[in-house]
């Protein structure tokens, strides 16, 4: 019986099942920590118990520092799409709809999604590694000894900065994307700027702008919450910091794609 147990533990099926169970437990544990930390931070946000100096600093970090890379990614994506789509639409007689298509694409999807990816890569990973380092070096324990709630001190300013700054970043990046699409269309086809913007003006609605801003708010808050939570629950020294940062990035990517799917089904299905 003992030899059979040893044989089973060495089998590939046992190792696969054990890995699946371990990953499932880790998934539920991470999700539970994110939800608990989110509600704890929401309590302070609703009471407007905020450290204003820290909030301003995090807003500058979340918005201003990430703006150049965000604008670059959205603009280059717009250039890539316009360079391939505009000429083909003109050939098929759909030149009057190029501006409409590009604007809808950028406002509804590209502006928010690509900005979210840029924010995750630059700011989300930074937040996770910063708080994870504080955890493994026992700085968070020192904060607790001083009778300061780490959720109020670390989470609330970062989450609020995401909620406040992400819509502004998305608006600026989307405008840059629309302009980049117009320039690319003008260079690759016979359409002028007037035809492009006339088409864009008559094809965009207030609903699209509202959904874009709501999506940006959800993206910003989610990225900040997940990054802080993954860093807050880090352990194991330098290796733990790396794992927490990786987990924060992966979870944030998956979360904003899920949010995007929810908004698409709810408003455009």
Q: pLDDT per position in the chain (269 positions), as tens?
A: 556 666 666 667 767 787 788 888 888 888 888 999 999 999 998 888 888 888 898 888 888 888 889 999 999 999 999 888 888 888 887 778 888 888 888 998 889 999 999 999 889 999 999 999 999 988 888 888 888 888 988 999 999 999 999 999 999 999 999 999 989 988 888 788 888 888 888 777 888 889 999 999 999 999 999 999 999 988 888 888 999 999 999 999 999 999 999 999 998 77
> What is the per-residue pLDDT across 10-43, written as a single tens digit (0 to 9) for each?
667 767 787 788 888 888 888 888 999 999 999 9
pTM for this prediction? 0.89
Angle (CA) 13 32 37, round 5°: 150
Residue 164, CA atoms < 13 Å, CB-side half-sphere: 17
Q: pLDDT value at position 63?
A: 83
What 8-state DSSP symbol labels residue 110?
I
Angle (CA) 90 85 209, round 5°: 105
Q: pLDDT value at position 4?
A: 60
| Dihedral angle sign, alpha carbons of residues 103, 106, 107, 108 | positive
Radius of gyration of the chain from Cα atoms? 23
């Amino acid at each position: 019986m003992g030899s059979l147990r040893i044989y089973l533990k060495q089998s590939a099926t046992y190792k696969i099942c054990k890995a699946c169970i371990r990953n499932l437990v880790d998934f539920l544990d991470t999700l539970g920590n994110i939800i608990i930390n989110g509600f704890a931070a929401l309590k302070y946000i609703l009471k407007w118990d905020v450290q204003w100096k820290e909030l301003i600093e995090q807003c500058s970090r979340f918005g201003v520092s990430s703006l150049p890379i965000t604008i670059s990614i959205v603009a280059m994506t717009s250039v890539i799409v316009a360079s391939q789509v505009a000429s083909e639409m003109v050939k098929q007689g759909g030149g009057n709809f190029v501006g409409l298509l590009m604007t809808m694409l950028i406002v509804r999807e590209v502006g928010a999604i690509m900005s979210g990816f840029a924010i995750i890569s630059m700011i989300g990973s930074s937040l996770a590694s910063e708080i994870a380092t504080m955890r493994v070096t026992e700085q968070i324990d020192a904060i607790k000894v001083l009778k300061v709630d780490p959720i109020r001190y670390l989470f609330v300013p970062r989450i609020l900065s995401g909620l406040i700054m992400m819509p502004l970043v998305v608006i600026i990046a989307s405008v840059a994307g629309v302009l980049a699409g117009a320039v690319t269309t003008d260079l690759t086809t016979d359409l002028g700027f007037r035809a492009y913007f006339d088409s864009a003006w008559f094809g965009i609605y207030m609903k699209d702008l509202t959904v874009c801003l709501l999506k940006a708010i959800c993206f910003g808050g989610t990225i900040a919450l997940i990054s802080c939570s993954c860093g807050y629950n880090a352990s194991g020294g330098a290796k733990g910091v790396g794992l927490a940062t990786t987990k924060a990035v992966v979870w944030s990517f998956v979360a904003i794609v899920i949010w995007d799917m929810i908004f698409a089904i709810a408003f455009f299905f």
